[in-house]
Amino acid sequence: MLPSYGVAIGEFGTYSTEQGQWMHVDMNIKAAGVTYQAAVDVNEPNGLFQYQILNGLNASLFATVSKLKDGWHTLKSNATSGAVDYARSPILQKMLSPTWTNVTGNEAGEALVALVKGSKKLYAFGAPYVTGKDVHDVHCNQGDPPGQFRPLDGIWQDGCVFVLKGDGSLSAYLGKFSTQTLKTDGNGLPIA
């Protein structure tokens, strides 16, 4: 499990693209006089990253989170807190495609930036950094193969970005590593 999980809510400010060990789009979120940064994964060194953009989501299924004020909110990893689970969240179930877009360059980053520009409200789900309330692990956080990331696997703790657009519609950016599966047990571990 992640040590902590939650959502930063506010207005999209600026962004930059960072290529470290993994490629991120670092988004600044303006919230009640505070700026939060969300490091959203958009690729990794071996090109094993995938993403989806979901449009026209059922906003009534997002009501728990949309009622929250701007700022950082810690969420319990369960079905009623507003936490997101790619495999279990009702808001994603009918919209999520079994086919993910494979990333070869920065196309996921470009799709993310196009999604958040002009949005009315931005919601970045993930884990807070130890210092401050900036958000990372903005990607799927379950279904990892054996290795260094499996101890962080869990359900109801997936990172993603939701946006409320000016026309009132709700969309989301979801990212995952192609080594991850969404066929997981109650602990977020892969089911063989």
The pLDDT score that the predictor gives to residue 192 is: 77
What pTM was computed for the model? Answer: 0.96
* Alpha-helical segments (H) within the chain: 63-66, 90-93, 107-116
Q: How far apart are CA 166 and CA 22, in angstroms?
A: 31
The pLDDT score that the predictor gives to residue 36 is: 95
The pLDDT score that the predictor gives to residue 48 is: 86
Give residue 90's pLDDT band: very low, low, confident or very high (50, 70, 90).
very high
pLDDT at 133 over 80: no
- The answer to whether the CB of 72 falls within 8 A of the CB of 6 is yes
Region 1-19: what's the mean pLDDT? 93
**DSSP labels for 42-86?**
EE-TTS-EEEEEEEEE-GGGGHHHHTSPSEEEE--SSTTTT---T
- The answer to whether the CB of 172 falls within 8 A of the CB of 135 is no
pLDDT at 117 over 90: yes
As a 3-state breakdown, the chain gives helix, strand, coil percent values, each rounded to 5, of 15, 40, 45
165-178, pLDDT tens digit by residue?
999 999 999 999 99
Residue type (1 letter), 178? S
What is the percent of the chain where pLDDT is above 70? 99
Strand duo 34-43 + 135-138: pairing: parallel
Region 81-108: what's the mean pLDDT? 94
The pLDDT score that the predictor gives to residue 120 is: 96
Give residue 104's pLDDT band: very low, low, confident or very high (50, 70, 90).
confident
Give residue 105's pLDDT band: very low, low, confident or very high (50, 70, 90).
confident
The pLDDT score that the predictor gives to residue 130 is: 80
Give residue 92's pLDDT band: very low, low, confident or very high (50, 70, 90).
very high
Q: How far apart are CA 16 and CA 92, in angstroms?
A: 28
